[in-house]
Amino acid sequence: MKKIALALGLLGLTALANAADPLNETVWKTIDDKTKQPKAVVKFTEQQNGTLSATIQSILTPGEEKACSKCEGPYHNKSLKGLKIVHGLKNNGDNTYESGTILDPQSGKTYKLKGQMIEGGKKLQLRGFIGVAALGRNQTWVRAN
């Protein structure tokens, strides 16, 4: 009887751990803040340290599938498909996130990142910035799954 209770308890903990973050394993269409057009499809995954990252799954803008030529370091000339553009995003609770970074493949620059899931999790409002959040720009991504 004790073994069954222990097994059920471990199973319950495993289920809670897998469902820990509502952003984990979700897929989003990135929306360009200037043109308001979808640019790419990205997928969030939770890392071993509990932070989230997002990787480009596909490019939606024809002609922009090429390498990240303006990116520096390990991202230089890497294909955009499969490129990890969000790193270290932390869940604050209440569907808010902070302390991450985001790579802009068009400029090759990396920005600090914070965000919030809105409209019942149908949209993800992100703010990329250098220094203080007031001096940044917003993007709203739309859930694809």
Q: Which residue has the tokens 């739309």?
A: 142
Identify which has the larger pLDDT, 134 or 20.
134
- Give me the pLDDT at residue 77, please: 87
Give per-residue pLDDT as tens, 44-80. 999 999 999 999 999 998 877 788 888 888 888 888 9
Question: CA–CA distance from 85 to each of 1, 45, 47, 56, 94 (Å)?
Answer: 48, 12, 14, 7, 23
How many other CB atoms are there within 10 angstroms of residue 73's CB atom? 8
Q: Band of the pLDDT at 25, cuts 50, 70, 90?
A: very high
Give per-residue pLDDT as tens, 79-116. 899 999 999 999 999 999 999 999 998 889 999 999 99
- Give me the pLDDT at residue 41, please: 97
Q: Which fold has domain 22-143?
A: Lipocalin (2.40.128)
- Give me the pLDDT at residue 1, please: 53
SS3 of 7-55: the string is HHHHHHHHHHHHCCCCCCCCEEEEECCCCCCEEEEEEEEECCCCCEEEE
- Give me the pLDDT at residue 54, please: 98
**Domain residue ranges of the chain, discontinuous segments joined by +:** 22-143
- Give me the pLDDT at residue 64, please: 75
Do residues 131 and 111 touch, judged by C-beta distance below 8 A? no
Please name which of 91, 69, 88 lies closest in space to residue 78, comparing C-alpha atoms: 69
What's the token pair of residue 7? 């097994």
